[in-house]
Amino acid sequence: MPRPLISIITATYNRSNILTYSIQSALGQTYTDWELLVIGDCCTDDTDAVVAAFNDPRITFFNLEENFGEQSEPNNVGMRLAKGDFIAFLNHDDFWFPDHLEFSLNFLHASGADIVLASGFIDHHENKSEFFLSGIVPEKYGYHPSRVFVSATNWLFKRELVKKVGFWRPAKDLYTVPSHDWLKRAYELGSNILPTKHFTVIALPSSSRKNAYKDRTIDKAPFYSEQLNTNPHFREQIISENLYKCFEVLYYDENTYYWRFFTKKIKNVFIKLGLNTIEFELMRRFGKGGLLRSYRKRRGLNLN
């Protein structure tokens, strides 16, 4: 098979029933010159059979011999195996709109960016805020790791950055999550990180779903998959329904408005002092490696 331009990396562990929908969103891309490396963290379910059933030579499954316990090592394996000039991550419970890769790649070329961050929707399910937005970068300041967290599913970047930035560090050694740590390091090394300002991602994070792994929760995955495949107006419908709610809360809920006003002022002070506010808050709340432990507990996974 010819060398692909984009390598897509999907880290997964025993969620074959939702992985299939994620893979379908990759197959639905308008840009087709890619390979998909599905890296199992020592999966013991039928993930291998689910991947094989797609019968697509662009999709390859690798299963680690030992369970690492989180996605940093599977994603590192994927980056070592990647053949493309560009790398995209697709979390096993996330979705891309059909134009995600095409738009992101065109934007990266046109802008001269090293990394582009797509905008997206996060469906938090049981959490207080059912929907949230991702990849929204303030135009005044640009991307800064103290201001915004952007899931790896939203990224597209030049593979040559791996030599410059290195691989993902294990969650046990961090106060934050490995993806945020990697993007922070890329930023600190002077990488040009730009937002596409185009909504092409839907995330259903397992950290927002109690016992997602233990109960093998599928949740809204079939609905999103069907809408992305059959409804050409789905993006506009989500924007209409959820941006209104977002603005209503952010600008007209008094408590939220004033909380945002004062925390932004405090955040600016921290940034001027060279402190990372996101990392500082997680350090205060969870300690080193504690965020991952809290996620594993909520997901119904073993804490060891």
Q: Each residue of 180-203: pLDDT tens digit?
A: 999 999 999 999 999 999 999 999
pLDDT tens, 260-298? 666 666 666 666 666 677 776 777 777 887 777 787 777
Q: What is the pLDDT of residue 262?
A: 60
pLDDT tens-digit map of 42-69: 999 999 999 999 999 999 999 999 999 8
| Domains along the chain with CATH numbers | 6-299 (3.90.550.10)
Average pLDDT over residues 116-140: 82
Q: What Cα–Cα distance (Å) separates residue 25 from each residue in 93, 120, 144?
A: 11, 14, 29
CB-CB contact of 154 with 119 (8 Å): yes
Cα angle: 183, vertex 41, 201; to 5 degrees: 45
pLDDT band of residue 240 (cuts 50, 70, 90) is confident
Lowest mean pLDDT, pick from 3-17, 120-134, 258-272:
258-272
**Structure tokens that stand for 165 in this block:** 């930035």
Q: What is the pTM of this model?
A: 0.90
For the chain, the average pLDDT equals 89
